[in-house]
């Protein structure tokens, strides 16, 4: 039997690229999927195929702790349990550190970092009661490598990784897992938004991943419960090794930024921007 069969799985940001791909994958492998987003109308457009019959679609603003309590409570009442939480919702607004508005700075922290933490806390109350479960938090290789022009986003993803590692250690022996999936840039609406901002050059150094590749990594995290899965693995490992020498990384950053700028220019031309 597939390890996802029958698992009640709550996915945030389920109307977007990675969230939608994850919901489809999990539903196709027999999980009972709970899709959440701030805009319920967008959730209705997500087609899960044959696994759609048992799916729930719920409004959730991840930045509001009480909203988390309500949604998790509803899931437990209607489904009997919560086996997997995928904290995927996130935002990004490229800008130089001193040019990003205070409102955007606070939105990064509220959604990317605190939204993840609120979700973990709400899910843990349900999972501790049943003695099992798995939390997968989606971070980024930008939580390992510095992203000039996206410092706020970078900081929140560093925070998600740190929080998850601590949670992973804290939950040893409880039957509950905590894992972080850190992907490279992925072909989503978020990346399309970054494309029109010159500050986001580091997000275009490599060809973007398909959302389905990240979804498969999330499924693998539920199965293996490894502390972190990097996507792609080789690039992630290289980033980890490089950041053991931050001074050397700063020397190669200009080359990476030029490479990213060239890829951005090609993609803009291809899209007629």
Structure tokens at 18: 């990675």
Structure tokens at 191: 């990346």
Q: Tell me, what DSSP letter sits at residue 119?
A: H
Q: Tell me, what DSSP letter sits at residue 178?
A: E
Q: How many CA atoms lie within 13 A of 192 on its CB side?
A: 9
CA distance 79 to 102: 40
Structure tokens at 88: 């995927």
Q: Tell me, what DSSP letter sits at residue 208?
A: P
**Which residues sit opposite 32 in a β-bridge?**
8
Of 68, 153, 163, 204, catalytic: 153
> Counting Cβ atoms within 10 Å, is residue 16 exposed (0-12), middle (13-18) or buried (19+)?
buried
What does the angle CA 61 – CA 67 – CA 71 come to, to the nearest 5 degrees?
Answer: 105
Q: Which residues contact 161 (CB under 8 A, 6 or more apart)?
A: 139, 143, 144, 180, 182, 228
Q: Are 194 and 94 a contacting pair, CB within 8 Å?
A: yes
CA distance 255 to 152: 22
153 is catalytic: yes
Helices marked H in 131-172: 151-170
**Any idea which residues carry the catalytic annotation?**
153
């Amino acid at each position: 039997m597939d390890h996802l069969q029958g698992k009640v799985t709550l996915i945030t940001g389920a109307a977007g690229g990675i969230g939608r791909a994850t919901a489809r994958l999990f539903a196709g492998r027999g999980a009972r999927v709970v899709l959440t987003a701030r805009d319920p109308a967008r959730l209705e457009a997500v087609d899960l195929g044959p696994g759609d019959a048992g799916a729930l679609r719920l409004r959730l603003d991840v930045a509001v702790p009480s909203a988390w309590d309500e949604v998790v409570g509803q899931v437990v009442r209607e489904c009997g349990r919560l086996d997997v939480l995928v904290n995927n919702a996130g935002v990004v607004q490229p800008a130089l550190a001193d040019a990003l508005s205070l409102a955007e700075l606070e939105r990064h922290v509220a959604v990317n970092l605190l939204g993840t933490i609120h979700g973990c806390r709400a899910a843990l109350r349900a999972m501790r009661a049943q003695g099992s479960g798995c939390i997968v938090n989606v971070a980024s290789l930008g939580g390992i490598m510095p992203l000039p022009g996206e410092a706020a986003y970078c900081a929140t993803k560093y925070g998600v990784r740190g929080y998850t590692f601590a949670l992973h250690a804290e939950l040893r022996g409880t039957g509950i897992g905590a894992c972080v999936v850190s992907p490279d840039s992925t072909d989503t609406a978020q990346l399309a938004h970054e494309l029109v901002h010159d500050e986001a050059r580091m997000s275009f150094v490599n060809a973007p991943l398909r959302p389905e590749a990240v979804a498969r990594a999330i499924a693998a995290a539920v199965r293996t419960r490894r502390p972190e899965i990097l996507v792609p693995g080789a690039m992630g490992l290289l980033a980890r090794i490089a950041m053991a020498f931050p001074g050397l990384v700063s020397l190669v950053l200009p080359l990476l930024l030029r490479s990213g700028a060239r890829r951005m220019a090609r993609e803009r031309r291809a899209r007629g921007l």
